[in-house]
Amino acid sequence: MRILICASEIVPFAKTGGLADVAGALPRALVELGHDVRVALPNYAAVDQKKARPEPAGEVRVPVGEETVSVEVLLSRAVPGVPAYLVEAPEYFHRKALYGEPDDAVRFAVFCRALLEFLRRDAWRPKVIHCSDWQTALIPTYLRQDYAADPRLNQIATLFTIHNFAYQGLFNREVMEEIGLSAGLFTPDGVEFYGQLNLMKAGLRYSDLLSTVSPTYAKEMQTAEFGERLEGVLAGRTQDLFGVLNGIDYDEWSPATDPHLAARYDVHTLAGKAKCKADLQRRLKLPEASGVPLFGLVSRLASQKGLDLLAEALPRLLRLDVQFALLGSGDAVYQDLMVELAKEHPKKMATVTGFDDPLAHRIYAGVDFFVMPSHYEPCGLGQLISLRYGTIPIVRRTGGLADTIEDFDERTGEGNGFSFEERSPLALLGTCCRAMMVRSDAGLWPQLVRNAMAGDFSWDRSAQEYVRLYELARARHGS
């Protein structure tokens, strides 16, 4: 099957979050299954042109309001087996940031339209276009509105994946004319959303099939609590909405081969994990104490991630004989608090702000527990990486965390982590204490670590699920 995966960020070209990892790993897994896969994203200023080595593939004219702009499509073969289209429009994409610009609606409309115009004339044409989040939602919208009678494009099926429902692409109604959307679409059954244009809603309305990144989140999205005021739209498409768990790249995230670690290890040679813990403690200037439970977190510091719960629970947790390693940045209130806690408890807590990829690897390998008390979590990658490294997740039971972490049962020895449901600092603190009790049991702890490392959350299984959805999307499209 010929598959085009479109996203606003894709590793190794551009990244701000987990979407880039997903959009970079899934194509490679699909190629391993024998499919013909390409990817597409804007050619941002942040893309390393020396590594990408793009070559001209074609030039198209794209309408923007009453004018047309010239856009070049480049082709990069930097990722073996996965050609990448880089849409080159310096006026729109050579900015400091990938998102957050006042003209984001126009920027990503140019990307979507240029890509479709290019596909009209290119020899390679996909059977399915897999879109992700609001930045690519205009692809299925334009296909329905402008290309329905075009035999070069009207056989293409679309799958639209929601990675985070909270970010919807809301804009003033007036931008519709500039990005070429018919005024007739601005209705409750179309793209209108409480007086604004909602591009996420466009993706939900006009794609052949919908998916999100975990089965539980697919259910949660259809409730008032998690539906972001679009649960009514999803209610009408329940039969078209599927949850497919993200995977992780087992080549990049492998304690047996990870170049950032002080020692390599696997489920059979866990002595290396103890060396990784000692190395992490030295690097973070924490006392080297193998017997002290070491908790960790690598995250965006935001309320969604449960930082409000952690902020209240941490001072109490640090009264115990524990250590905590934190890497992340985000909301100033949480970032400043975590820095201050580390200053108050220099022998128990280390906070590193910003992002440091080698340190992230060392934290996943070196800590005993990885804490994810999220209020909602569409899928989550941190808990999957932790399992791979024999680090035990402590999570709130929501979204993908509920689908991947089974609460450890001390009686049966089954389970791969610890989970709680109540949104309270006390529930988080109590779960941490229960986890420490299991860690102190010489019989239970090795079993739990083995359980964690035995799970398979590679992309192989998820890629097969996506292939099934691509086939279903084509059937729904009538191909």
Task: Work out the number of other CB atoms within 10 angstroms of the CB of residue 268.
Answer: 8
Give the H or E element holding residue 27: helix 18-32
Q: What is the spatial distance between Cα 475 and Cα 341, in angstroms, rounded to a whole number?
A: 55
Predicted confidence band of residue 7 (pLDDT cuts 50, 70, 90):
very high
Please check whether the domain covering 2-247+460-477 is classified as CATH 3.40.109.10: no
- Please, which pLDDT band fits residue 394 given cuts at 50, 70 and 90? very high
Residue among 209, 201, 184 nearest 128 (CA): 209
- Mean of per-residue pLDDT scores for the chain: 96
Note the residue count of the chain. Answer: 479
pLDDT attached to residue 479: 55
Query: Which residues lie below 8 Å from residue 115, measured CB to CB, with a gap of 6+?
Result: 6, 40, 73, 85, 87, 139
Q: Which two tokens stand for residue 245?
A: 């768990």
Determine the 3-state secondary structure of 310 from DSSP. Answer: helix
Q: What is the predicted pLDDT for the residue at 184? A: 94
Mean pLDDT of 1-26: 93
Q: Is the pLDDT of residue 285 over 60?
A: yes
| Cα end-to-end span (Å), the chain | 13
Question: What's the pLDDT at 304?
Answer: 92
CB 158 within 8 A of CB 140: yes
Q: What is the pLDDT of residue 355?
A: 84
Distance CA 452, CA 267 (A): 9
Query: Per-residue pLDDT tens for 402-422?
Result: 999 999 999 999 999 999 999
Site of tokens 């002595």: 271
Determine how β-strand 196-198 pairs with β-strand 170-171: antiparallel
Tell me how far CA of residue 140 lies from CA of 119, 269, 338, in angstroms: 14, 49, 43
Contact 74, 93 (CB under 8 A): no
Residues of the chain with pLDDT > 90, as a percent, come to 94
Closest CA to 132 of 43, 229, 236, 10: 10
Residues 111, 99, 330: CA angle, nearest 5 degrees = 155
316-342 pLDDT tens trace = 999 999 999 999 999 999 999 999 999
**Structure confidence at residue 16 (pLDDT):** 84
Domains 2-247+460-477 and 271-456 share a fold: yes
Which residues partner with 84 through β-bridges?
39, 76
Which residue intervals of 284-411 are DSSP H helices?
307-317, 332-344, 357-366, 382-388, 399-404
Task: Please give the structure tokens belonging to residue 91.
Answer: 């006026």
**Domain extents in the chain:** 2-247+460-477, 271-456
Q: Give me the residue label for tokens 């999307």.
A: 473
CATH assignment of 271-456? 3.40.50.2000
Run of H or E including 434: helix 425-439
425-439 and 307-317 helices cross at what angle (nearest 10)? 50
| pLDDT tens-digit readout, 151-167 | 999 999 999 999 988 89
371 close to 185: Cβ distance less than 8 angstroms: no
Q: Would you state the structure tokens that stand for residue 414, as one six-digit string?
A: 């089954």
Cα–Cα separations (whole angstroms), residue 174 to 45, 50, 80:
28, 39, 43
Tens-digit pLDDT profile for residues 459-479: 999 999 999 999 999 999 985
Residue 71 φ then ψ, to 5°? -130, 135
